Amino acid sequence: MAEQPSDAFIFFGATGDLAFKQIFPALRGLIRDEGMDVPIIGVAKAGWSLEQFRERAKDSLDHHGGADPDTLRKLLGMLRYVDGDYADPATFVRLRQELGATQRPLHYLAIPPNLFATVVERLAASGCAANGRVVVEKPFGHDLASALELNVILHRCFPEEAIFRIDHYLGKEPVQNILYTRFSNPIFEPIWNRTYVRSIQITMAESIGVRDRGRFYDGAGAVRDVVQNHLLQVLAVLTMDPPTGEHSEAVRDEKVRLLKAVRPIAAGDIVRGQYAGYRSVPGVSPDSTTETFVAARLYIDTWRWADVPVYLRAGKKMPLTATEVWVEFGRPPRETFGEGVRSNSGHMRMRISPDIEIALGLRVKQPGERMVGKDVELILTRRGAADLPPYQRLLGDALHGISQLFAREDFVEAQWRVVAPILGDVAPLHSYEAHTWGPQEAARLMGPDGVWLNPAPPAQAQAHDIANVP
CATH code where residue 78 lies: 3.40.50.720
Same domain, 106 and 211: no
pLDDT band at 166 (very low <50, low <70, confident <90, very high): confident
Let me know if residue 212 belongs to a domain: yes
Band of residue 198 on the pLDDT scale cut at 50, 70, 90: very high
pLDDT value at 369 more than 80: no
Which one of 137, 161, 191 terminates a domain? 137
Point out the domain boundary residue: 113, 137, 161. Answer: 137
* Confidence check: pLDDT of 15 > 60: yes
Residue 195 is which amino acid? T
Q: Which domain range does residue 236 map to?
A: 170-468
Do 129 and 192 lie in one domain? The reply is no
If you average pLDDT over every residue of the chain, what do you get? Answer: 89
Specify whether 362 is located in the same domain as 457. Answer: yes
107 and 175 together in one domain:
no
pLDDT of residue 298: 97
How far, in Å, CA of 304 to CA of 138, rounded? Answer: 30
Residues facing 42 on adjacent strands: 11, 81
Q: What pLDDT is attached to residue 211?
A: 86
CATH code for the domain in which residue 264 is found: 3.30.360.10
Residue 206: inside a domain: yes
Co-location of 81 and 228 in the same domain: no
Looking at the fold, whether 95 and 183 belong to one and the same domain comes out as: no
**What mean pLDDT do residues 197-208 have?**
95
Better-scored residue on pLDDT, 27 or 465:
27
Q: What is the pLDDT of residues 300-318, one digit of tens each?
A: 999 999 999 999 999 999 9
Of 137, 152, 186, which residue constitutes the final position of a domain?
137
Residues labelled catalytic: 230
pLDDT tens sequence across 320-367: 999 999 999 988 877 777 677 677 778 899 998 888 888 888 887 778
Same domain, 59 and 104: yes
pLDDT, residue 465, reads: 37
Specify whether the CB–CB gap between 157 and 163 falls below 8 A.
no
Q: How far apart are CA 222 and CA 313, in angstroms?
A: 10
Q: Lay out the sheet containing 467-468: strands in order across.
A: 429-432, 270-275, 293-298, 310-315, 197-205, 322-329, 347-353, 356-365, 373-382, 467-468
Give me the mean pLDDT over the 395-406 stretch.
Answer: 90
Instruction: Specify the pTM.
Output: 0.89
Half-sphere CA count of 66, side-chain side, radius 13 A: 3
User: Is residue 130 domain-shared with residue 207, that is, in the same domain?
Assistant: no
For residue 468, pLDDT over 50 is answered with no
> Reduced to 3 DSSP states, what percent helix, strand and coil does the chain have, rounded to the nearest 5?
40, 20, 40
Is 157 a domain residue? Answer: no
Give the pLDDT of residue 389.
83
Task: Give bridge partners of residue 361 from the DSSP assignment.
Answer: 347, 377
Same domain, 174 and 314: yes
243 and 177 in a common domain = yes
Contact (CB, 8 A) for 151 and 144: no
In a domain, 164, yes or no: no
Residues 176 and 96 in one domain: no
Q: Mean pLDDT throughout 433-458?
A: 89
Reported as a pLDDT band with limits 50, 70 and 90, residue 248 is confident
Which band of pLDDT confidence, cut at 50, 70 and 90, is reported for residue 47?
A: very high
* pLDDT tens by residue, 130-160: 999 999 988 788 899 999 998 998 999 999 9
| Residue 149 located in a structural domain | no
- What does the pLDDT average to over 1-18? 86
Q: How far apart, in whole angstroms, are the C-alpha atoms of residue 57 and residue 79? A: 9
The lowest-confidence range among 102-106, 185-189, 268-272, 384-388 is 384-388
Q: What integer pLDDT is reported at residue 272 of this predicted model?
A: 98
- 27 belongs to a structural domain: yes
Residue 467 pLDDT: 36
Between strands 322-329 and 347-353, the pairing is antiparallel
Q: In total, how many domains does the chain have?
A: 2
pLDDT at 104 over 60: yes
- Residue-wise pLDDT for 18-27, tens only, equals 899 999 999 9
Q: Is residue 31 part of a domain?
A: yes
Same domain, residue pair 175 and 132: no
* Residue 1 belongs to some domain of the structure: no
For residues 82 and 91, the answer to whether their CB atoms sit within 8 Å is: yes
